[in-house]
Amino acid sequence: MTSQGLLFIVGILSVIRGGFLLFPGLRVRPFWLKAGLLIAIALVFRYTGAFAAAAPPDQPDAPPFDTRRFTVLATALMAVLFIPNGTREHAPDESDEEGDEGSSETAHHEAPPAASTTPSAISSAWSREQTRVMLEYLDSIIVAGVTALFLIHFVVRSFYIPSESMVPTLLVNDMILVDELVYDFYRPGRGDIVVFRPPERAHSEGKDFIKRVIAVEGDTVRVTNDVTYVNDQPLVEPYRNPPSDRYGWQGLRTFDPVTVPPDHVFCMGDNRPNSEDSRYWGAVPVKNIVGKAFLTFYPLRRARLLR
C-alpha cells in the first residue's frame, strides 16, 4: 500500500471516529456501516491506487491489478459482509411487571426473557456494547495507521527490485524494506546492502540503485580474474551469483586498483556479470545513500532478513 492510500484510509477512519466523539449516543446501523466501508474501499482503489503493484520494467503494459490487490479487496468485502448485527432482548410484557405476590411468584418460575441473535439484516441496530467494541478497534487501527505513516516517511521505506543485478540475494520484483535512519548514526560498512542515488554519469534516469558495499573510504579495490581484492586481501563472497554463460560475462573480470575517496563507498552487485556498478561509474558519495536494505517481505515465501 502506498503512503497516499494509507493516509486516505486513516483520514476516513478519523472522520468516523470524530463523529462518535461529537455524538456519544450515536448508534450504528449495519446498512450504513457496510455502505460506508464499501464506498471507502472503492474510493481508495479509484483515486489513490493504494494497492496497485508496480509493473515489471520488461512489461510496462501489464495491468496493475494482481493477486495482491485481489486478496486485499476480497478480504475487505468479506469483512463487510459478515459484520454481525448484535443481540436484542425481548421486552417483557407489561403484565409481567404488575400484579400481586402470587403473580410475582408465578413470574419467578417462568423462564427469563431470551436473548436472540439477529441475522445479518440491514435493518437491525447494533447494541451499545458492540458499538463500544467497534470504537476500540477503530482507535487501534487509527493509531497503527498514524504510526505506519510516521515510519514510512521518516524511518522505513519499501522498494521493489527491477533488475537481476543482485541475484541471488534479491530477485526481480522482490519487495524490500529500507531503513532510512541508520546512517544518521552509523557509517556504511562493508557488506551492507544499500539503496542510493547513483552518480550522474550512471545515466539512471532518476531511479535509485541497490548494490552491496564492497569497500569504504580509504580502501583500495581491484578485481583480478573475477576475484575481488580489498586492501590486497581476497574477499570471501558467499552471496555472489556463480558465473554463468547466461549473462555472457558482461561484467568486468579485471579491474585496475582504485582507492575509495573520503565520504564515498565502492558498490557492486551480487550478480557481477550483469551489474553496472562502481566499476563503471565510480564510487558513491555517502550523502547519496537513501538507506540500508534489511528485509525482504514479498513474496512471502522469500521473506527474510538481508545479509
Q: Would you please indicate which residues are annotated as catalytic (active-site) residues?
A: 165, 211
What is d(CA 153, CA 147) in angstroms, rounded to the nearest whole number?
Answer: 10
Buried b (16+ CB within 10 A) or exposed e, 249-267: eebbeebeebebeeebbbb
Grid coordinates 522498494 are at which residue?
159
What is d(CA 45, CA 34) in angstroms, rounded to the nearest whole number?
Answer: 17
Grid coordinates in use for 185? 548514526
Q: Could you count the other beta carbons within 10 Å of the beta carbon of residue 66? A: 13
Give the residue among 231, 250, 233 at the shortest CA–CA distance from 241. Answer: 250
Omega before 168 cis (within 30°)?
yes
Q: Is 64 helix (H, G, I), strand (E, B) or coil?
A: coil
Cβ neighbourhood burial of 197 (10 Å; 0-12, 13-18, 19+): middle
Kind plus residue range of the DSSP H or E element containing 268? strand 264-268
Q: What is the chain's Cα-based Rg?
A: 30
What is d(CA 242, CA 167) in angstroms, rounded to the nearest whole number?
Answer: 10
What is d(CA 86, CA 168) in angstroms, rounded to the nearest whole number?
Answer: 52
What is d(CA 266, CA 217) in angstroms, rounded to the nearest whole number?
Answer: 8
